[in-house]
Amino acid sequence: MNQESKTKRMVGTALRFRSHGVAHPTQSFVRSCMPYFLVLLPFLFFSCEREERTLVVQPPSAQEASLPQVSDLAPGPQHNKAPSVSNPDENNSWMMAEGKRFYEAYNCVGCHAHGGGGMGPPLMDEKWIYGHEPQQVYATIVEGRPNGMPSFRGKISNDQLWEIVAYVRSLSGLTNQWAANARDDHIKGAPPPNSVPEGTPHNSSEPQP
């Protein structure tokens, strides 16, 4: 990707949190997830795995240069394939349940519903505009996308981000089916992520084998 198009892709809508001084349930989210240490507490129990994470991903304030590559497309004969990274959260039920909670708390649910889409595209189907690999989904959330996906850069902690990535991918059956959520506490009637019908997801920039 050349520099110019890369800059164009950075134009996700900026976000600002605002608390409006009302002591009602709205605040409880802020109370419960803004102090990251609270959220990180449970990580103490999983910390061995955590330490060894192979991903070299900077916190949300990452330098542009170290951002994951978004597309496989590259000029010239040598194809610079996006490195495949694995996201350990995708084998962990608890992490994915957390991902779902954050997906709702950060209002992804308002634009993408529970995967069926609305203002944003569906996330439970097999079509991916910007790629379904963990690092591509991660990049989508952090950088934002030009047609209205806001950039959550600096809004969501890195650990939460990977949990959200795992949950998002579980919606279309891309994660470990044994670990994906089996039930939903809400109104929902869509098949739970661990029973999404079979289907090969395809990436617009990746030829099918």
Partner 1 sequence: MLNLLLGFASIACAAVMLAGVAFAQPSTPADDGQWTMPAKNFENTRYSGLDQIKINNARDLRVAWTFSTGVNKGQEAAPLVVGDSMYVVTPYPNILYALDLKQNGAVKWKFEPEPAAAAQGVACCDVVNRGCFFDKGKIFFNTLDDNVCAVDANSGKLLWKTKVGEINKGETMTMAPLVVHDKVLVGNSGGEFGVRGWLTAVDANSGKIAWRGYSTGPDADCLIGSEFKPFYESDRGKDLGVKSWPPDHWQIGGATVWGWISYDAAQNLIFYGTANPGTWNPELRPGDNKWACGVFARNPDTGQARWFYQWNPHDEFDHDGVNENIVVDLQVDGRTRKTLLAAQRNGYVYVLDRTTGEVLSATPFIRITASKGVDLKTGRIIPNEEKKPQIGKVIRDVAPASPGAKDWQPCAWSPRTHLLYIPHQNLAMDYEGVEASYIEGTPYLGVNVKMYGNGGGKRGEYCAWDPVQKKKVWAIEEDFPVWSGTLATAGDVTFYGTMDGWFKAVNAKTGEVLWQFKTGSGIIGQPTTFLGPDGKQYVAVLSGVGGWAGAVVSGDLDARDPTAALGFANAMKDLPQHTAKGGTLYVFALP
Binding site for ligand HEC (CB under 6 A): 103, 106-108, 110-112, 119-121, 123, 128-130, 137, 140-141, 145-150, 152, 164, 168
Calpha distance 101→61 (Å, rounded): 23
The entry of ligand HEC, partner 1, none that residue 141 binds, CB within 5 to 8 Å by partner kind: ligand HEC
Using a 10 angstrom Cβ sphere, with 0-12 exposed, 13-18 middle and 19 or more buried, the burial of residue 207 is exposed
Element containing residue 26 per DSSP (H, E): helix 25-33
Residue 28 binds partner 1, judged by CB under 8 A: yes
Residue 182 binds partner 1, judged by CB under 8 A: no
B/e letters for 47-77, b = 16+ CB within 10 Å, e = fewer, are eeeeeebebebeebebeeeebbbbbbeeeee
Lookup: tokens for 57: 């991903």
The entry of ligand HEC, partner 1, none that residue 140 binds, CB within 5 to 8 Å by partner kind: ligand HEC
Closer of 52 and 72 to ligand HEC (Cβ): 72
Choices 54-62, 73-81, 182-190, 198-206 (CB under 8 A): range interacting with partner 1 = 182-190
Could you write out the DSSP letters of every residue in 72-113?
A: S--SSSS--PPPP---GGGG-HHHHHHHHHHHHHTTHHHHHT
Are the CB atoms for 120 and 112 separated by under 8 Å?
yes
Calpha distance 92→163 (Å, rounded): 9
CA atoms within 13 A on the CB side of 101: 12
- Helix/strand/coil (H, E, C) string of 175-202? CCCCCCCCCCCCCCCCCCHHHCCCCCCE
Which residue among 106, 138, 162, 167 contacts partner 1 (CB under 8 A)? Answer: 106
The entry of partner 1, ligand HEC, none that residue 117 binds, CB within 5 to 8 Å by partner kind: partner 1
The entry of ligand HEC, partner 1, none that residue 28 binds, CB within 5 to 8 Å by partner kind: partner 1
Least distance in angstroms from the C-beta of 78 to ligand HEC = 25
The entry of partner 1, ligand HEC, none that residue 128 binds, CB within 5 to 8 Å by partner kind: ligand HEC
Least distance in angstroms from the C-beta of 126 to ligand HEC = 10
Closer of 8 and 81 to partner 1 (Cβ): 8
> Where on the chain is the footprint of partner 1 (CB under 8 A)?
11-22, 24-26, 28-30, 104-107, 109-111, 113-122, 124-125, 127, 146-150, 155, 186-191
